[in-house]
Amino acid sequence: MNNTHSKTQIDTHSNTRRTSEKQKGRHQNSQSANSPVDLSVNIAGVQFKNPVIAASGTFGFGEEYAQLVKVDALGGICSKGLTLEARQGNTGKRLHETASGLINSIGLENPGIETFIKRQLKTMLSFDTVSIANLSGSTIESYVEGARLLDETEIPMIELNISCPNVKQGGMAFGLDPISAAEVTTAVRKATRKPLIVKLSPNAPKLLSVAEAVQESGADALSLINTIQAMAINIERGKPVFNNVKAGLAGPAIKPIALSMVWDVCKMMQEKKEKDRIPVIGLGGIRNWIDAVEFIMAGASAIQVGVATFANPQAMEEIIAGIETFMKRKNYTTIEDFRGLALE
């Protein structure tokens, strides 16, 4: 059983960025093209073997894809969005493909946190990758109770989902304004000592204020973006495709928007003193290594891959290989060597 997830191994210096002087020095040394590259990243004290993480809701609990994907090769995997109580999810159509995109209205169907702990957690943790529990809820109390239950497990990290657009109660409602986002983050922060990523919604009118607010409330890292609110209409019936009318758009269609938002948040981080920065995980429509490198150059410490896995289960493995080849070609030895290049 690998133990890299234990709390005692958390490295508090991990967020420090290397100075640009060091970077330049390394480049001038002009190491041989065969020099080993280090894809590992450290986010809020948790060590990832590479920066490629399966996004919540697109990878089940790992086991679902185990025959098609080398799960052990991934940096991390996020669980399906979990709530305290089991949820049946939304009725009616749940998926609608659009040009280069996929609108979904799953509605957080999940077995509930207790069942997850009993049934899926052990298998999820058996993979040689970082498991992240994605936590959602409908009230602050249910978020807190869920966080308490997860705190007692071996799960190394929690991603707080305040951005699901597909449930009427809670979810995205918490992520839309800085005050409620801060409230839920503060409450969950008190309920768990696990490293806490807060997943932001692109639908927030003031994204940067929300990012700032959750950081001040104790977030150890941010991930963005969740799906963009969208809809489709069935023209034969003259009715919206989804029973909830609005749903969430993901897939390559949203990548440039996601990149722009990640860049904005990372720019905001860059303007802070080094000790006041927290890492950003970028996601939204990433489908190949070039997309992934763009997000890292926009300042992301890691990236998540979602819908691309549906279309191509090998996508994440290809992205990892692609980043490695790119780094060799560019003589980068660590992800930090090119992270945030496009912010300067």
Task: Just list the catalytic residues.
Answer: 164
216 binds other proteins (CB under 8 A): no
For other proteins, which residue of 58, 129, 163, 227 counts as binding (CB under 8 A)? 58
* Contact flag: residue 83 with other proteins (CB under 8 A): no
Question: Nearer Cβ to other proteins, position 119 or 193?
Answer: 119
Residues in the chain: 344
Q: Which CB sits closer to other proteins, 55 or 327?
A: 55
Residue 105 and residue 90 in contact, taking contact as beta carbons nearer than 8 Å:
yes
Task: For 180-307, list the strands marked E by DSSP.
Answer: 196-199, 221-224, 228-230, 233-234, 239-240, 247-250, 280-283, 302-305
Tokens matching residue 105: 């209205």
CB atoms within 10 A of CB 323: 24
| Smallest distance, other proteins to C-beta of residue 166, A | 11
- Work out which of 57, 156, 165, 340 binds other proteins, going by CB under 8 A: 57
Size of the site for other proteins (CB under 8 A): 34
Q: Is 175 exposed, middle or buried (0-12, 13-18, 19+ CB in 10 A)?
A: buried
Applying CB under 8 A, does 322 fall inside the site for other proteins? Answer: no
Selected binder of other proteins within 5, 80, 255, 339 (CB under 8 A)? 80
Measured CA to CA, the distance from residue 305 to residue 52 in angstroms comes to 7
Name the minimum Å distance from CB 255 to other proteins.
12
Q: Among residues 16, 43, 58, 23, which one has the least CA distance to residue 309?
A: 58
* Residue window 264-303: x/- pattern of binding to other proteins, with contact defined by CB under 8 A: ----------------------------------------
Taking CB under 8 A as the rule, does residue 112 contact other proteins? no
